Structure 1
Amino acid sequence: MKLQRVLQYAQSLLELSVGEGDIAVDATAGNGHDTLFLANLVGDDGYVYAFDVQKQAVDATLHRLLDNALEHRAIVLKDGHENVAKYVTKPVSGAIFNLGYLPGSDHDIITKPNTTIQSLESLLKLLKVGGIIVLVIYHGHEGGKEERDEVIRFVSALPQKYIHVLRYEFLNQQNDPPFVIALEKVKETNFTLK
Structure 2
Amino acid sequence: MKYSYRITDYCHRFLEQYIEPGDICVDATAGNGNDTEFLCRLCGEDGMVYAFDIQEEAILGTKERLEKCGYENRFCLIHDGHEKMGEYVKESVSAIVFNFGYLPGADHAVATKPDTSIRAVGEGLKLLKKDGIMSLCIYSGKDTGYEERDALLSYLESLDPKRWLVIVNQYFNRKNDPPLPVFIIRLK
Relative to the length of structure 1, the TM-score reads 0.92
Note the residue ranges of structure 1 that are not aligned, 5 or more in a row: 188-194
Q: Structure 2: how far apart are the matches of 1:71 and 1:176? A: 37
Q: Structure 1: how far apart are the matches of 2:142 and 2:36? A: 24
Amino acid at match of 1:105: A
Amino acid at match of 2:47: G
* Alignment partner of 1:173 is 2:180: no
Amino acid at match of 1:89: K
Partner of 2:10: 9
The answer (yes or no) to whether the contact 1:22–1:47 under 8 Å persists in 2 is: yes
Partner of 2:41: 40
Q: Deviations over 1:113-165 (max 9, x none)?
A: 11111111111111011110000011124443100000000001101111000
Corresponding residue SS for 1:161? coil
Note the residue ranges of structure 2 that are not aligned, 5 or more in a row: none
133-142 or 52-61: which moved more?
Answer: 133-142
The answer (yes or no) to whether the contact 1:6–1:168 under 8 Å persists in 2 is: no
Report the alpha carbon displacement of residue 91 of structure 1 after superposing the two structures with TM: 0.2
1:65-80 matches, within 5 Å, as 65-80=66-81
Partner of 2:160: 159
Number of residue equivalences: 187
**Over the residues paired in the alignment, what is the CA RMSD in angstroms?**
1.4
Q: Deviations over 1:71-128 (max 9, x none)?
A: 2100111111001001001001001111000011011000011111111111111101
Amino acid at match of 2:38: F
Provide runs of 4+ in structure 1 moved above 3 Å.
Answer: 1-5, 141-144
